[in-house]
Amino acid sequence: MRRSPTNDCRIPSALFLLLGATVLLAGCAAGQPDSITEEGDSVRSLYKWVFGLAVLIFLAVEGAILFMAVKFRRRKNDDGSLPPQIHGDNRLEAVWTITPLAIVLVLFVLAYQNINDLQAEVPADEIQALVDQDKALRVDVTGLQWVWQFAYPDFAWQNSEGDMSPVKILGENTNTIPETAGSVPTLRVPLGIPVQFKLHALDVIHSFYIPQTLYKLDAVPGRVNHFEMTFTETGIYNGQCAELCGTSHADMRFRVEVMPADDFFAWAASEQAKGETSALADIAAEEAEEAAEAEAANDDGTGTSADDSSEENTESATEETSGTETETNPASPGEATSNATDTGSGVEQADQVLSERE
């Protein structure tokens, strides 16, 4: 009759104890990073609840398995008789159906509030007023293979075409911390006021992820996703693309510098002033050029080339990635006659796609 040479419960006992110790160690280490946003604090507190319940359930069930396995092992002096053939107990089944159900319903109530916290946003008609008073900020985030670009639509100036050029942070805007590969832009955001992010993708799906905010959202072609955060800690934090986007996905990093609000707005205003100055210079140069060309045209007697010579912003997404930031890229007259839709920044392109769909 079946008799294995050993019926040793040392293996299960030892492993179960080992597992318990490991889990306790892991439990102490298992934390998410400290959150740097108000929304992250909400996630953090949900995490504590879920983690606490998880540890309790883990210990209870693993404990029960361990207890059953060791306590009801076949003893050495076993007579070979059958143990009681218990087929089930409907009351017990009801108990351990209803108890987990109650637990997950409680968890769901917590999770429900947390989801609402994460999805809460300043209403669209109020945000403009807040932005005007420097009590909120809007950021356009654009993901493209394999770099992030950030633009502040509320800190913009008119370029020579009459379009608004926002203060932009492009991928080649390297910072002082050395990196292995890719260019790492630093997004500056103010402390303590709502920051509304709009996510755009130019090619494939990317995901905007700052681990310390305990939040990520995908940038999906054809959609503009948006979310709001209020940062609560100053400092410089890492961010990274979290959705596989091709070969250099891992190099698609960025940094977030959370600054006191006053510092931020002073910086943004100075960037805007710089942009205005250079735009004015561009416009002056252009007018001079136009005048010269008009003169030449008069000499030719054609008089139609004034429009052609206007500088179209023809930078494409790929040029931006390769690092040529040329807001006023002179184009050949033949190509430049056309549409403004092909030109402009990535954000404008994505918006264009959207409005076409609508």
154-173 residues near another protein, rule: CB under 8 A? none
According to the binding rule CB under 8 A, does residue 232 interact with another protein? no
Q: What string marks each residue from 55 to 74 as x (binds another protein by CB under 8 A) or -?
A: --xx--xx-xx--xx--xxx
Closer Cβ to another protein, 47 or 157, answer by number: 47
Q: What are phi and psi of 202, to 5 degrees?
A: -95, -25
According to the binding rule CB under 8 A, does residue 76 interact with another protein? no
Applying CB under 8 A, which of residues 211, 265, 293, 316 lies at the interface with another protein? 211
Kind and range of the H or E element at 198?
strand 194-201
**b/e sequence 226-247, b meaning 16+ C-beta within 10 Å:** ebbbbbeeeeebebbbbbebee
**Alpha-carbon distances of 54 from 19, 44, 61, 100, rounded to whole Å:** 15, 15, 10, 12
Applying CB under 8 A, which of residues 24, 34, 52, 119 lies at the interface with another protein? 119
Quote the least distance from Cβ 77 to another protein, whole Å. Answer: 12
According to the binding rule CB under 8 A, does residue 87 interact with another protein? yes
According to the binding rule CB under 8 A, does residue 101 interact with another protein? yes
Residue 72 DSSP label: T
Applying CB under 8 A, which of residues 122, 130, 156, 205 lies at the interface with another protein? 205
Sign of CA dihedral 342, 344, 346, 351: negative
Site residues (CB under 8 A) for another protein, limited to 16-45 = 16, 18-19, 22, 26, 29-33, 40, 42-43
Closer Cβ to another protein, 188 or 253, answer by number: 253
According to the binding rule CB under 8 A, does residue 293 interact with another protein? no
According to the binding rule CB under 8 A, does residue 130 interact with another protein? no
Closer Cβ to another protein, 118 or 259, answer by number: 118
Could you give the CA distance from residue 151 to residue 142 in angstroms, rounded to a whole number? 8
Q: Are 232 and 192 in contact (CB under 8 A)?
A: yes
Sheet holding 235-241, edge to edge: 186-190, 253-259, 235-241, 206-210, 215-219
Quote the least distance from Cβ 10 to another protein, whole Å. Answer: 9
